[in-house]
Structure 1
Amino acid sequence: MAERHTLPSGAWVELRDWRELRRGDKKRALSDVTDTTRPVAAGYELADALLTILITAWSYQLPLPSASPESLDLLPIEDDQPLMDLVLPAIQGLVPTSVDTEDADPASPSVPSAA
């Protein structure tokens, strides 16, 4: 089911529930990340990929991202962070948090704590 969100510009966007994503959606979104050495760029690539999958409708006078992903680049800057915030749960759900294993004891059966 899609949920409507009003953005600071006054525009609205409807997103389907990210928990309805399928394995193929995850593979497609992750394959759009081209450069993991640049975390900010990689974050935008993943967010844009997910937005193209999750947005079902919007009030912008632009094609939906599923039809034209470039539409995301034309949105008002004031709506950028709110859109990123909306897609963050999907990112967190699809990409497991990495664990720093540098200090791990190889004999230990568990991973180091995040403390």
Structure 2
Amino acid sequence: MKSKIHRVKVTQAELHYVGSITIDEDLMDAAGLIENEQVHVVNNNNGERLVTYVIKGERGTGTICLNGAAARRAEVGDIIIIIAYGTLSQEEAAVFRPKIVFPDSHNKLVS
């Protein structure tokens, strides 16, 4: 695991969109996610899991929007976990520490 946004709330689900997950840029920065990076999304409410890619959302809005077919896997208000993975050598992995973000109930960074 490279990074994780733990227990964030879905704010939108847009079925008629190309695909992906839109994430508030503040949360992306805190978790070390980059636009178009592959992520796994786990829905705590219904157990659904999916793989998609990240699109930058407007900074400071708390936006978490599942787009395209992914929109069928969650409802607004569902709690999800967003996970990104990376490949490291054994030496790199021995000292690597993932970035884990625990947003508040409004998808804002906790100070």
Q: TM-score range, shorter-chain basis? A: under 0.3
Larger Rg: 1
Name the structure where strand makes up a greater proportion of residues: 2
Name the structure where helix makes up a greater proportion of residues: 1
Relative contact order, higher structure (CA 8 A, sep 6+): 2
User: Scaled by the length of structure 2, what TM-score is found?
Assistant: 0.25
